[in-house]
Amino acid sequence: MNVLAFNGSPRMKKGVTDSLVQTFLDGAESAGAQTETVYVAKQKIKYCVGCFKCWFKHPGKCIHDDDMLMIRKKIKAADIIVFGCPVYFDGFTAQMKTMLDRLIAGGSPFIENRDGHARHPSHGKERKVRKMLLISTCGFGERDNFDPMIHHMQAIARNFATGEYMGALVRPMGQTMEMLEPEKPEAVKAIRDAFYKAGVEAVTLGRISDELQDAVAAPLISFEEFVQRSNALFKDLIAQNQA
Ligand SMILES: Cc1cc2nc3c(=O)[nH]c(=O)nc-3n(C[C@H](O)[C@H](O)[C@H](O)COP(=O)(O)O)c2cc1C
């Protein structure tokens, strides 16, 4: 089984997203999967310009000759696709969205009725189902900060001719969690272990239980403590940076 992960954070390996995605992939590998991570910010991906030449002039082929060809090949070979991306202004990062827009070249202009909704089929006859999973983190502490991205991920999976939404592993207060790790090692370990187990479940069961989706989002500190600690830290950072 091939698990392909995209990391849409511009901070790539230095970010919280990466540590969560890699822990999930470690779990997937322990269950026998082959995994690969594509750091989207490192790829050469031009913006979609909306010319529709990939639909009408040379079907399936984009006017841009860049890393999207390689990415589309990897998607074709994947059984599970992980969209790892932090929340930026309540949604996907620009890097991830730029890649997602370019996937239009893999679809056909024709419209079919799928479950009573107009959808585009994919090019060719290929009908392999790809499970799609969101792994995300954000700065704030409320789980509802991920709602727009989860809705977006679900819609993308429905729009993909061969997509199936698998769930969302979302970690609020990602950076705060990393800072709290020395102070609350057991609580943070339980969260990291849940990401690992989710990787195992994804491969062995083809789904991720609600329990694990809840466990990765477990609260670590109260709202009041979060606000107080964050503001104290920001004050220090401003003082240090401007000294
Ligand atoms: C441009 C920008 C926009 C952000 N928008 C949000 C937001 O809307 N909500 C939120 O809770 N965190 C927001 N954050 C915080 C990031 O989600 C957080 O720093 C996260 O840890 C980044 O992931 P990374 O460490 O993998 O890069 C934003 C950060 C940046 C730089």
Q: Is 141 in the pocket of ligand 1 (CB under 6 A)?
A: no
Q: Is 137 in the pocket of ligand 1 (CB under 6 A)?
A: yes
Rounded Cα distance between 162 and 150, Å, is 18
**Ligand 1 geometric centre to CA of 88 (Å):** 5
**Ligand 1 geometric centre to CA of 98 (Å):** 17
CB 168 within 8 A of CB 85: no
**Model pLDDT, residue 92:** 98
User: Tokens 């977006």 correspond to what residue?
Assistant: 152
Question: Best mutation site among 21, 39, 138, 150 for ligand 1, i.e. most ligand atoms within 8 A of its Cβ?
Answer: 138
DSSP E strand stretches across the chain? 2-7, 34-39, 80-84, 112-114, 117-119, 130-137, 163-171
**Model pLDDT, residue 143:** 97
Question: Best mutation site among 14, 23, 40, 89 for ligand 1, i.e. most ligand atoms within 8 A of its Cβ?
Answer: 89
DSSP H or E run through 197: helix 185-204
Rounded Cα distance between 128 and 41, Å, is 28
**Model pLDDT, residue 122:** 76
**Model pLDDT, residue 161:** 80
**Model pLDDT, residue 123:** 72
**Model pLDDT, residue 239:** 97
Going along the chain from its start, the domains and CATH numbers come out as 2-242 (3.40.50.360)
Tokens of 156: 């993308």
**Ligand 1 geometric centre to CA of 103 (Å):** 24
Distance of CA 243 to the CA centre of its chain: 37
Residues 6+ positions from 143 with CB-CB distance below 8 Å: 170, 172, 217
**Model pLDDT, residue 65:** 97
Sheet order of strands, 80-84 included: 34-39, 2-7, 80-84, 130-137, 163-171
Q: Is 139 in the pocket of ligand 1 (CB under 6 A)?
A: yes
Determine the 3-state secondary structure of 72 from DSSP.
helix
Where the chain has pLDDT below 50, the residues are none
**Ligand 1 geometric centre to CA of 18 (Å):** 13
**Model pLDDT, residue 113:** 86
Q: Is 175 in the pocket of ligand 1 (CB under 6 A)?
A: yes
**Model pLDDT, residue 201:** 98
Q: Which of 40, 43, 44 is nearest to 12 (CA)?
A: 40
Atom of ligand 1 nearest to the CA of 90: 8
Q: Is 55 in the pocket of ligand 1 (CB under 6 A)?
A: no
Q: What is the pTM of this model?
A: 0.97
**Ligand 1 geometric centre to CA of 164 (Å):** 26
